[in-house]
Amino acid sequence: MSVFSAVEMAPRDPILGLTEAFLADQNPKKVNLGVGVYQDANGKLPVLECVRTVEQQLGQNPKPRGYLPIDGLKAFTTEVAKLVHGADAAEIAENRLVTVQTLSGTGALRVAGDFLRPLGNGTLLLSDPSWENHQAVFTRSGFEVGTYRYKAAERDGLDFDGMLADLRAADKGTVVVLHACCHNPTGYDLSDEQWDQVVQVVTDGELIPLVDMAYQGFAEGPEQDVKAIKKFVATGKPVVNTVSFAKNLSLYGERIGALQVTCTDADEAARVLSQLKVLIRTMVSSSPTHGATVVAAVLSDHALRTQWTEELAGMRERIKEMRRRLVDGLAAAGVTAANGKKDMGFIAEQAGMFSYTGLSKEQMVQLREKWGVYGTDKGRICVAALNDSNIDYVCEAIADVI
Ligand code: LMR
């Protein structure tokens, strides 16, 4: 009798488990639209030129790999503070912005969850729907996880009135997770005016905002996509936000990201930092060196940073182009209202890597089994993995299962 004999088989991860199934699929035409990974026009995961340059420099002059400080590489956290909050941000000048290096955005969420859990009222609200891993991460941190309305149930687009009503009804001290941009999975973002209203309701209700930013630069640009964080900071109340360089620097496997806490003064910030360090030390001791070194080098060098913003714009525009092509391709394949089917024009209005297609679980399973086209059971597809070679096939497949 093994000590592990009672261990139950865990369900496959709803997103990364799809990649496992995709890799095992023998269909030569298979397309992975499951995981949120940007691929270039040739279907390849890009190494950005700005990253390649830094790595060549590092290759010629390798740096020692000692332990980083618990809160991360100073050059990295300094650059991230300026990138997200702005070089002239008052919270930086007043030493009340805490930035710690984390294992990408997910690591930041977990540290944030463990930090906030004892501070609020123990409940945390996610958008309905939200990134599938949010629920699991925050449940692990001990929260009672609930939802606020987000995607309209009966139509495409937001249920903004429902969202506001649910946030207004939340108890003081509830943590509210908001997506800074490129909402995952729906692709529906709030307008400027809608953000103003959300910030007001969160502030009035004394809720704790946790703004998850995994896609900075994929909606409108790196400066525009931080607007929600800036609006919260402008209230003068504490705000927590995450940062990830997985997508926007194509550094997925480096697990490089950050957690930021904007405090009310420097003394509070020092105490917050000390607690975040305890959490990081007990989870992973300290963070890895390489990704942080690369990001710091790109962000601190004018030419490399300019190159990065151009490469990022290239990724953003290619995704937008694929959205338009998908809409046109589906219409050409007969998915039109005139044909008695749902018009898919809404795909072009969504932002970021994902589209919420509205397809049912049965249709997504059929897409997978009959066509080898992988999206999540909830109907999410990664538009950033479409290209000239697979888009017609994907349109044909979707048209077939609808
Ligand atoms: C996704 O939503 O597909 C990405 O954020 C990757 C992941 O870790 O789930």
Q: Is the pLDDT of residue 340 over 90?
A: no
Tell me what pLDDT residue 2 has: 95
**Cis bond leading into 46, ω under 30°?**
no
Judge if the beta carbon of residue 36 lies within 6 A of ligand 1: yes
Start-to-end CA distance of the chain, whole Å, equals 50
> What spacing in Å lies between the alpha carbon of 248 and ligand 1's midpoint?
13
pLDDT digits (tens, 9 = 90+) for 11-37: 989 899 999 999 999 999 999 999 999
**Cis bond leading into 185, ω under 30°?**
yes
pLDDT digits (tens, 9 = 90+) for 92-113: 999 999 999 999 999 999 999 9
> What spacing in Å lies between the alpha carbon of 193 and ligand 1's midpoint?
28
Contact between 262 and 273 (Cβ < 8 Å)? no
Per the DSSP assignment, residues forming a β-bridge with 32 are 374
| Residue 240 CA, distance from chain mean position | 15
CB crowding 52-70: b at 16 or more within 10 Å, else e: ebbeeeeeeeeeeeeebeb
Other CB atoms within 10 A of residue 17 CB: 15
Mean pLDDT across the chain: 96
- Which tokens in the block code for residue 134? 């949010």
Tell me what pLDDT residue 304 has: 98
| Whole-number Å distance between alpha carbons of 354 and 246 | 15
The total number of residues written for the chain in this structure: 402
Q: Is the pLDDT of residue 336 over 90?
A: no
Judge if the beta carbon of residue 180 lies within 6 A of ligand 1: no
Tell me what pLDDT residue 122 has: 97
Q: Is the pLDDT of residue 339 over 90?
A: no
Instruction: State the closest ligand 1 atom to the C-alpha of 133, by its place in the atom list counted from 1.
Output: 9
3-class DSSP assignment, residue 200 = helix
Tell me what pLDDT residue 153 has: 85
Tell me what pLDDT residue 394 has: 96
In angstroms, the Cα distances linking 22 to 119, 307, 370, 371 are 41, 33, 13, 12
**Residue 153 has what DSSP assignment?**
S
> What spacing in Å lies between the alpha carbon of 106 and ligand 1's midpoint?
9
Which of these ranges, 153-162, 243-252, 316-325, 361-370, has the smallest mean pLDDT? 153-162
pLDDT digits (tens, 9 = 90+) for 125-169: 999 999 999 999 999 999 999 999 999 988 889 999 999 999 999
- Which tokens in the block code for residue 197? 């209203």
Furthest C-alpha separation in the chain = 64
> What spacing in Å lies between the alpha carbon of 336 and ligand 1's midpoint?
30
Helices assigned H by DSSP within 9-131 = 16-24, 49-60, 74-85, 90-93, 104-116
> What spacing in Å lies between the alpha carbon of 176 and ligand 1's midpoint?
20
Tell me what pLDDT residue 242 has: 98
Judge if the beta carbon of residue 186 lies within 6 A of ligand 1: no
Tell me what pLDDT residue 29 has: 94
Instruction: State the closest ligand 1 atom to the C-alpha of 13, by its place in the atom list counted from 1.
Output: 9
Tell me what pLDDT residue 342 has: 81
To test the pocket of ligand 1, the residue of 109, 133, 137 to mutate (highest count of ligand atoms within 8 Å of its CB) is 133
Active site residues per annotation = 131, 212, 247
**R_g of the chain computed on alpha carbons:** 21
Q: Which residues contact 387 (CB under 8 A, 6 or more apart)?
A: 39, 40, 41, 42, 43, 322
| Whole-number Å distance between alpha carbons of 194 and 65 | 46
Instruction: State the closest ligand 1 atom to the C-alpha of 16, by its place in the atom list counted from 1.
Output: 9
pLDDT digits (tens, 9 = 90+) for 257-289: 999 999 999 999 999 999 999 999 999 999 999
Q: What share of the chain is helix, strand, coil (3-state, %, to 5)?
A: 45, 15, 40
Tell me what pLDDT residue 335 has: 86
pLDDT digits (tens, 9 = 90+) for 175-207: 999 999 999 999 999 999 999 999 999 999 999
- Of all protein residues, whose CA lies closest to atom 6 belonging to ligand 1? 36
